[in-house]
Amino acid sequence: MEQEKLLSYKGRKSGRPLSKAKNEVLNKILKTNSVTADKINSNFFFNRSYYPLSLEIGSGSGEFIVSEAIKNPNKGFFAVEQYINGIASLSSKINQKNINNIKFFPGDVTKILYLLPQNIFDCIYLLFPDPWPKIKHHKRRIIQKEIIDIFSKLLINNGILWFVSDDKDYCRHTLLHFQKHPSFKWTAQRREDWLLKPKTWVDTRYEIKAKKRGISPIFLKFIKSKPL
């Protein structure tokens, strides 16, 4: 499938104008921590000692990936986010905490999935992706067979993919697609396995919003049990 037909992604790219100070930090961190397509196409855009990496698709303001990077300073983390205000917030956190083990791609993830080297991630995080609830928009969801095929190639053997959402229909959609896929197994054995997140995870913005609405997010964990 051609790259441009892989996914019709229509997420917003900008919000409120950034302040001068935020713009300055953003431009500074873009120079040191952002990754262009030509670097993504190479085998190593991190120091070799940081591999295997973890990938977060749709990192938002960066609270999750920053927390994980601080807890694991000898591991590399790669974030993808196209919303400029989210990138600015992530950049501010990287700057304030002097984080060296996060790099990010400021754009649409579907533009780079085919460029990423295979078997470089031990974990992929999809935390509260846009559910696109209308049936006619389901093709815009990132969970599609073609995308899962790519995830299988990007993950090392026994690598983990986490999908988290407060939208039950999207969770059913995701579970159905992964259970049909030959590379992945759902790890849940009891109810608590999909209702409770790992204790070390920080609360993310969307998780907090869901809980305020009285909704318990669902945490789906899949393991790559065999290569595609």
Residue among 130, 166, 167, 169 flagged as catalytic: 130
Residues 30 and 94: their CA atoms lie apart, in Å, by 11
- Partners of 145 in the beta sheet? none
Neighbours of 191 (CB within 10 A): 8
Pairing label, strands 102-105, 77-80:
parallel
**Helices within the chain (DSSP H only):** 20-33, 37-40, 63-71, 84-97, 145-154, 168-180, 192-195, 205-212
* 130 carries an active-site annotation: yes
Distance, CA of 174 to CA of 148 (rounded, Å): 10
Alpha carbon distance 152, 225 (integer Å): 9
CA 44 – CA 64 distance, rounded (Å): 23
- Alpha-carbon gap, residue 35 to 55, rounded angstroms: 13
Please give the Cα distance from 167 to 134 (Å, whole number).
Answer: 12
Rounded Cα–Cα distance for residues 146 and 98 (Å): 37
**Residue positions annotated with a catalytic role:** 130
